[in-house]
Structure 1
Amino acid sequence: MAIRYFEEEGVKARLSGKRALNTYIRQVIDEHLDVKKVEINYIFCTDEGLLEKNIAFLNHDTLTDIITFDLSESETELNSEIYISVDRVADNAQQFGVSYNTELHRVLFHGILHLCGFKDKKPEEEKEMRRQEDLCLKGYFGA
């Protein structure tokens, strides 16, 4: 299992406790998927950097907090690049009245949940995604 974290030039994600986070992410994956190999790269970037990717790859000209690319080549592996805008995370944390750390972890888990098959396009899917995110936050932070 390899879960790695990268910051684009000039970006500071302020993420700590990566070893414990990796263990918890693997637990979430194991709960929903039966995969043998896990390769996940989180790449922290700016709004501008993620907007470029959103336009280039998804043809969406909007700001977003996360884009998850599933690069898996078989059902026994999970290979992904997950791009997260720290600018969006900070703005959303302020908007929702939560800490940056809480919102950052919500988004980290959101990407994993997408890889596990959860969607959020329809209202009922979005409601379930939020429930799963809350379960992850509670499970990870013990709150």
Structure 2
Amino acid sequence: MREVLFFKEGVEYPVFFSEALINKWLDSIAVYYSKKIGALSFIFCSDDYILDVNRNYLSHDYYTDVITFDYCEGDFLSGDVFISLDTVYSNSLQFQSGFENEFHRVICHSVLHLIGYKDKTDADSKIMRLNENICLELLKTL
């Protein structure tokens, strides 16, 4: 059953945010990787909020841009995705990538984790980056 939900915790959606566009994009990513969209929740939040999630659920004591909880079953992509808009913005400045581009990169990064891609090693990170770029190209076609 396809259900994609968007929430915000202590932040506002970016001005460029489009629920309709993200939904179309998620469908195109799923088709490209021979998957289906199941139940996905995207929670956009602050650094403090994601730090609490990291501490309480993963026992990590640091800030991050995204945390993905995987509930996939079979070919259905399902999970909860927490995205710190504070860190996404900071990363966009650090990498000179633009906030909108970094925002979309983090969304597809989380979906790629649900598909099965990892990023703990340098080799895995290169493959992840390649696939992020493929997903960002898919977005440009919508």
Residue 83 of structure 1 aligns with an amino acid whose one-letter code is F
Unaligned runs of 5+ in 2: none
What pairs up with 1:115-126 in 2 under 5 angstroms?
A: 115-126=114-125
Residue 134 of structure 1 aligns with an amino acid whose one-letter code is N
Query: Displacement, 1:58?
Result: 1.3
What pairs up with 1:7-26 in 2 under 5 angstroms?
A: 7-8=8-9, 10-14=10-14, 15-26=16-27
What SS is found at the alignment partner of 1:60? coil
Residue 54 of structure 1 aligns with an amino acid whose one-letter code is N
Query: Displacement, 1:30?
Result: 2.6
| Alignment partners' CA distance in 1, 2:59 and 2:109 | 21
Instruction: Single out whichever of 55-64 and 15-24 deviates more from structure 2.
Output: 15-24
Query: Displacement, 1:75?
Result: 1.4
- Equivalent residue for 2:81? 82
Instruction: Single out whichever of 59-68 and 12-21 deviates more from structure 2.
Output: 12-21
| Alignment partners' CA distance in 1, 2:90 and 2:13 | 13
Unaligned runs of 5+ in 1: none
Does 2:52 match 1:52?
Answer: yes
Normalising by structure 1, we get a TM-score of 0.89
Query: Displacement, 1:124?
Result: 0.4
Does 2:90 match 1:91?
Answer: yes
| Alignment partners' CA distance in 2, 1:94 and 1:30 | 32
Does 2:7 match 1:6?
Answer: yes
Contact residue 33 and residue 116 of structure 1 kept, 8 A:
no
- Equivalent residue for 2:129? 130
Per-residue CA deviations over 1:94-124 (Å, capped at 9, x if unaligned) read: 0011211110000011000000111000110
What SS is found at the alignment partner of 2:13? coil
Instruction: Single out whichever of 53-62 and 42-51 deviates more from structure 2.
Output: 53-62
**RMSD of Structure 2 on Structure 1 (CA):** 1.5
